[in-house]
């Protein structure tokens, strides 16, 4: 997989790109709900903003004065308090140190003036991370002497579990659109027939950053002394499709790769709006995740990598 990535990057250099500044049509701002909460023992944030014109380098404007609650199957109400410009936060308590339980359905309810927004989601389950491995590969055509990390976990039996694998290198979140890593069971899609397996290799290897230096040469993903920290977040099936769409719309290959690119289209939403006769629109997504985590330091004396049973 890494070779494919690098190959495409090199092939892309054969074509050329120019930044352009077209005039775009604009629209009245639309409500955006960014409600991805999880069961990590920490405050949970739901962000309410509005869309802004495409060419900008500002944060989206927050929506203030809203009421935000999440209710579970047992009618337990979690209230998200407005903390700062558009951020609504639920704080863990001693009684409830974490948010949510797998296989429960959660209902989001938001009130902004006359407008109400609602959404439901099912909190999925997540496998424990068995281990994180490192391996060394000597210099080849595309890469210098390199250390690669891989994450090992086995998808639980039962089809339809979906995950978002997030990685931090030395505390820095790998936040490029191209670094979004999603799994459907142990593979990439529903038709994959990969239920109950160890994550397939491209998914295990998806925790490596491929950065380039100032000369556009590729760097080793990890160096001795680096840390890697991985979180696997469970997704609802709708959230999985939503993130897949986000990946398609944000991870643009550029260059030659555009021959294989799909055209721009809107990503979906699971937010329903009732603006009581108004013309407000809302987009965005609500998901509650179970999370498992693991981390490791790269110690070159302790290689090559081990395999889990």
How far apart CA 34 and CA 270 sit, in angstroms, is: 11
Interaction between residue 304 and another protein (CB under 8 A) = no
Is the bond into 304 cis (omega within 30 degrees of 0)? yes
- CB nearer to another protein: pick between 44 and 49: 49
Which residues, in sequence order, are CB contacts of 19 under 8 Å at separation 6+?
Answer: none
Interaction between residue 19 and another protein (CB under 8 A) = yes
CA-wise closest residue to 108 among 282, 290, 291: 282
How many C-beta neighbours within 10 Å does residue 79 have?
A: 12
Interaction between residue 43 and another protein (CB under 8 A) = no
Taking CA atoms, 252 is separated from 4, 12, 82, 239, 265, in Å, by: 15, 12, 35, 20, 13
Q: Which residues of 101-137 are buried (b: 16+ CB within 10 A; e: fewer)?
A: eeeeebbbebebeebbbebebbbbebbebbebbbebe
**Which residues, 233 to 252, sit near another protein by CB under 8 A?**
241, 244-246, 248-250, 252
**Which residues, 282 to 301, sit near another protein by CB under 8 A?**
283-285
- CB nearer to another protein: pick between 28 and 75: 28
**Which residues, 161 to 190, sit near another protein by CB under 8 A?**
172-180, 186-187, 189-190
- Which of 159, 268, 295, 300 binds another protein (CB under 8 A)? It is 268
- CB nearer to another protein: pick between 53 and 299: 53
How far apart CA 235 and CA 256 sit, in angstroms, is: 32
Minimal distance, residue 102 CB to another protein, in Å:
21
Interaction between residue 15 and another protein (CB under 8 A) = yes
DSSP 165-176: EEEEETTEE---
Interaction between residue 25 and another protein (CB under 8 A) = yes
Minimal distance, residue 303 CB to another protein, in Å:
18
Interaction between residue 214 and another protein (CB under 8 A) = no
- CB nearer to another protein: pick between 217 and 258: 258
- CB nearer to another protein: pick between 26 and 79: 26
Tokens matching residue 28: 């009245």
Stretch of 48-56, 120-128, 217-225, 298-306 lying at the interface with another protein (CB under 8 A): 48-56
Interaction between residue 3 and another protein (CB under 8 A) = yes
């Amino acid at each position: 997989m890494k070779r494919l990535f690098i190959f495409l990057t090199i092939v892309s250099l054969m074509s050329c790109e120019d930044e352009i500044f077209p005039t775009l049509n604009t629209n009245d701002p639309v409500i955006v709900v960014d409600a991805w909460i999880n069961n990590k023992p920490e405050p949970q944030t739901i962000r309410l903003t509005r869309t802004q014109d495409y060419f900008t380098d500002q944060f989206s404007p927050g929506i203030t004065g809203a009421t935000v609650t999440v209710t579970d199957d047992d009618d337990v109400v979690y209230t998200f308090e407005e903390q700062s410009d558009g951020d609504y936060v639920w704080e863990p308590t001693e009684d409830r140190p974490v948010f949510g339980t797998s296989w429960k359905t959660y209902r989001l309810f938001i009130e902004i003036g006359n407008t109400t927004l609602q959404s439901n989601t099912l909190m999925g389950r997540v496998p424990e991370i068995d281990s994180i491995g490192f391996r060394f590969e000597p210099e080849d055509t595309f890469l210098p002497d390199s250390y690669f990390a891989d994450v090992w976990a086995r998808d639980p039996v039962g089809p339809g579990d979906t995950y978002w694998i997030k990685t931090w290198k030395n505390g820095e979140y790998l936040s490029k659109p191209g670094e979004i890593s999603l799994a459907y069971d142990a593979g990439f899609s529903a038709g994959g027939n990969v239920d109950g397996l160890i994550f397939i290799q491209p998914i295990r290897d998806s925790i490596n950053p491929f950065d380039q230096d100032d000369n556009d040469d590729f760097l080793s993903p990890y160096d001795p002394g680096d840390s890697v920290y991985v979180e696997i977040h469970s997704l609802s099936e709708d959230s999985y499709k939503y993130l897949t769409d986000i990946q398609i719309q944000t991870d643009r290959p550029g260059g030659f790769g555009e021959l294989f690119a799909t055209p721009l289209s809107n990503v979906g939403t699971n937010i329903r709006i009732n603006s009581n006769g108004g013309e407000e629109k809302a987009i965005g997504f609500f998901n509650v995740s179970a999370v498992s985590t693991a981390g490791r330091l790269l110690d070159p004396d302790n290689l090559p990598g081990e395999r889990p049973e």
